[in-house]
C-alpha cells in the first residue's frame, strides 16, 4: 500500500524556519520531520511513499537523491569519482516517488495530481508536519472493514484545528472551524479509497478538508478511527522546540521503531 504525504504548503506560522526550507524539512534532531513520519509508516511495513511537493520542493528532492551519501560513510576517489558506500543507516527498501504538484495548489489539487502514481484500491494519506504513535495496520484494517471512501484518524485534543462531529465511528460533520469546546480533531493519518479521485480536481483551488471531506461526512462516507495514543504537529516555533526536546530527552512518543 502506498502512502501519500502532502509536502507542498508554505508553513507561514513557522516562518522563522520555512523562509529557508519547506516545513517537512524542518529538523527534529538530526533528521527532518518528514523522515520521522516515514519511519513510523516503515516500522509498520508501509514503505512505498509518494511525496506531493510544492514550496521549495527541490530541497526534498535533493535530500533523498543524496540520502545514501548524507547518511552513510563512503570513500570517493577524486578524478574518477568512483565511490564505495559503507552502509550505516537502516532505511532499506523505501521506494519514494517525488512529484511536483505546483507552488500554490491546495491539498485536494495536490492529491489529484499524484493520482497517476496510485495503483492500489486503497492508500494512506497524511500531512508533512504531524507525528503520532498510530498503529497503522489497525487503522488500515478498520478502513477496509467498513468499506467507506475515507477514514481519518481522530485525536482528542484542545486545539485550534477542525473539529469532528461523530456519531459512533461515522463522521457526521467535518467542521474546519469549531464553534465550541473541541472534541476529536483530524490528526491526519488517513486511509482513502481511490474513489476519492472522482471528487477531486487538479484546479489549484481544490481543497481537501473544505468541501471534499465535509461532503463525504454528509453522505456517510467518512469514518473516524479514534486514536487513544499521542499526536502532535509542528505548526509553530514553539511546537518545533517541544518536539526537539522530546527527541533530545528520549521521550519521542512517535519513535515506535525502537
pLDDT at 185: 85
pLDDT at 176: 54
pLDDT at 111: 97
Identify which of 94, 95, 128, 122 has the alpha carbon closest to the alpha carbon of residue 110. Answer: 128
pLDDT at 178: 46
150 vs 115: CA distance, rounded Å: 16
Q: What cell numbers appear for 229 in the block?
A: 495514543
* 8 A C-beta contact, residue 139 and residue 44: no
256 vs 136: CA distance, rounded Å: 11
pLDDT at 181: 42
pLDDT at 160: 45
36 vs 14: CA distance, rounded Å: 18
pLDDT for 139-158, tens place per residue?
999 999 999 999 999 987 65
Output the furthest CA–CA distance in the chain (Å, rounded): 67
What residue ranges in 168-219 does DSSP mark as E strands? 170-175, 184-186, 190-193
The mean pLDDT value of the chain amounts to: 90
Beta-bridged to residue 53, according to DSSP, are 7, 100
pLDDT at 167: 61
Question: Using the 8-state DSSP alphabet, how is residue 162 labeled?
Answer: P
- Residue 195: what are its φ and ψ, rounded to 5°? -60, -15
pLDDT at 244: 96
pLDDT at 250: 96
Please tell me the pTM assigned to this model.
Answer: 0.89
Go through the domains of the chain in sequence order and give each one's CATH number: 2-248 (3.90.550.10)
Mean pLDDT of successive 10-residue stretches along the chain, which has 258 residues: 94 85 95 98 97 97 95 94 90 96 95 96 97 97 96 76 58 54 79 97 93 92 93 93 96 93
Amino acid at each position: 500500500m502506498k502512502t501519500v504525504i502532502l509536502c507542498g504548503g508554505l508553513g507561514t506560522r513557522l516562518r522563522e524556519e520555512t523562509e529557508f526550507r519547506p516545513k517537512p524539512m524542518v529538523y527534529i534532531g538530526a533528521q527532518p520531520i518528514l523522515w520521522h513520519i516515514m519511519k513510523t509508516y516503515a516500522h509498520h511495513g508501509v514503505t512505498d511513499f509518494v511525496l506531493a511537493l510544492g514550496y521549495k520542493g527541490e530541497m526534498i528532492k535533493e535530500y533523498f537523491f543524496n540520502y545514501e551519501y548524507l547518511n552513510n560513510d563512503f570513500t570517493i576517489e577524486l578524478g574518477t569519482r568512483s565511490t564505495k558506500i559503507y552502509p550505516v543507516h537502516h532505511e532499506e527498501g523505501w521506494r519514494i516517488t517525488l512529484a511536483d504538484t505546483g507552488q500554490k495548489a491546495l491539498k485536494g489539487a495536490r492529491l489529484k495530481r499524484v493520482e497517476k502514481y496510485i495503483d492500489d484500491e486503497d492508500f494512506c494519506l497524511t500531512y508533512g508536519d504531524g507525528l503520532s504513535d498510530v498503529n497503522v495496520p489497525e487503522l488500515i484494517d478498520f478502513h477496509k472493514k467498513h468499506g467507506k471512501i475515507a477514514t481519518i484518524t481522530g485525536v482528542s485534543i484542545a486545539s485550534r484545528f477542525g473539529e469532528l462531529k461523530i456519531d459512533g465511528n461515522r463522521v457526521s460533520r467535518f467542521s474546519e472551524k469549531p464553534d465550541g469546546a473541541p472534541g476529536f480533531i483530524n490528526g491526519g493519518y488517513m486511509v482513502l479509497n481511490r474513489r476519492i479521485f472522482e471528487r477531486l480536481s487538479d484546479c489549484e483551488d481544490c481543497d481537501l478538508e473544505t468541501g471534499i471531506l465535509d461532503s463525504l461526512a454528509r453522505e456517510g462516507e467518512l469514518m473516524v478511527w479514534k486514536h487513544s495514543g499521542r499526536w502532535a504537529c509542528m505548526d509553530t516555533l514553539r511546537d518545533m522546540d517541544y518536539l526537539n526536546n522530546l527527541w533530545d530527552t528520549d521521550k519521542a512518543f512517535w519513535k515506535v521503531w525502537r
